[in-house]
Chain A
Amino acid sequence: MLSDFDFSVLTDSLPFLWAGLQFTIQLTLVAMTGGIIFGTLLALARLSSMKPLAMAAAAYVNTMRSIPLVMVILWFFLLLPLLTGKPMGAESSAMMTFMAFEAAYYSEIMRAGIQSVPRGQVHAGQAMGFTYSQSMRFVVLPQAFRNMLPILLTQTIVLFQDTSLVYAIGSKDLLKASEIAGKNYNRPIEMYIFVALIYFIICFSLSQLVKRLQQRIAIIR
Chain B
Amino acid sequence: MNYHWNWGIFFDQVQNGDETYLAWLISALGWTVAVSITAWIMALVLGAIIGTLRTVPHRGISFFANAWVELFRNIPLLVQMFLWFFVVPELLPKDLALWVKQDMPAKEFVTAAICLGLFTSSRIAEQTRAGIQSLPRGQTNAGLAMGFTRAQVYRYVLLPMAFRIIVPPLTSELMNIFKNSSVAFAIGVLELTFVSRQMQEDTSQGIEVYAAVTLLYFICAFAANRGMALVEKRVQVPGYIAGAH
Contacts and interface: CB of A to CB of B under 8 A. Distances in A.
A66 B217 contact: yes
B217 A200 contact: no
A67 B175 contact: no
A67 B221 CA distance: 8
Nearest to B172: A65
A69 B179 contact: yes
Given A68-B179, A71-B214, A204-B74, A79 B79 contact: no
Given A68-B217, A79-B207, A192 B86 contact: yes
Interface stretch (A32-40, A90-98, A118-126, A159-167): A159-167
Given A82-B1, A192-B86, A203-B74, A175 B210 contact: no
Contact of B70 (A63, A67, A204): A204
A199 B73 contact: no
Contacts of A69: 179
B180 interface: yes
Interface in B65-90: 70-71, 73-80, 82-83, 86-87, 90
B218 A67 contact: yes
B183 interface: yes
A196 B80 CA distance: 8
A16 B82 CA distance: 20
Residue of B87, B94, B180 ringed by the most chain A CB atoms within 10 A = B87
Contact of B75 (A1, A167, A203): A203
Interface residues of B, number: 37
Nearest to B71: A200
Contacts of A68: 178-180, 182, 193, 217
Contact of B79 (A65, A67, A192): A192
A192 B17 CA distance: 36
B145 interface: no
Contact of B175 (A65, A78, A199, A203): A65
Interface in A136-191: 157, 161-162, 164-165, 167, 175, 188-189
A199 B179 contact: no
A119 to B, nearest CB: 15
The contact size tier of chain A is 20 to 34
Contacts of B73: 203, 207
Contact of B76 (A66, A175, A188): A175
Among A68, A200, A204, the one with the most B-chain Cβ atoms within 10 Å of its Cβ is A68
Contacts of B217: 66-68, 71
A74 interface: yes
Interface in A36-90: 63, 65-71, 74-75, 78-79, 82
Instruction: Classify the interface of chain A: helix, strand, loop or mixed.
Output: helix
Given A71-B182, A188-B86, A161 B70 contact: no
Contacts of B63: none
Q: Counting chain B CB atoms within 10 Å of each CB, which of A67, A69, A199 scores highest?
A: A67
A200 B70 CA distance: 9
A128 interface: no
Contacts of B183: 70, 165
Given A66-B221, A82-B1, A199 B83 contact: no
A43 B182 CA distance: 28
Contacts of A204: 70, 74
B78 A189 contact: no
Nearest to B221: A66
A117 interface: no
Contacts of B80: 196
A109 B125 CA distance: 20
B57 to A, nearest CB: 19
Nearest to A72: B214
A175 B186 CA distance: 13
Interface in A196-214: 196, 199-200, 203-204, 207
A164 B76 contact: yes
Given A63-B218, A193-B87, 8 more contacts: A65-B175, A67-B217, A71-B213, A79-B207, A175-B78, A192-B82, A200-B71, A207-B70
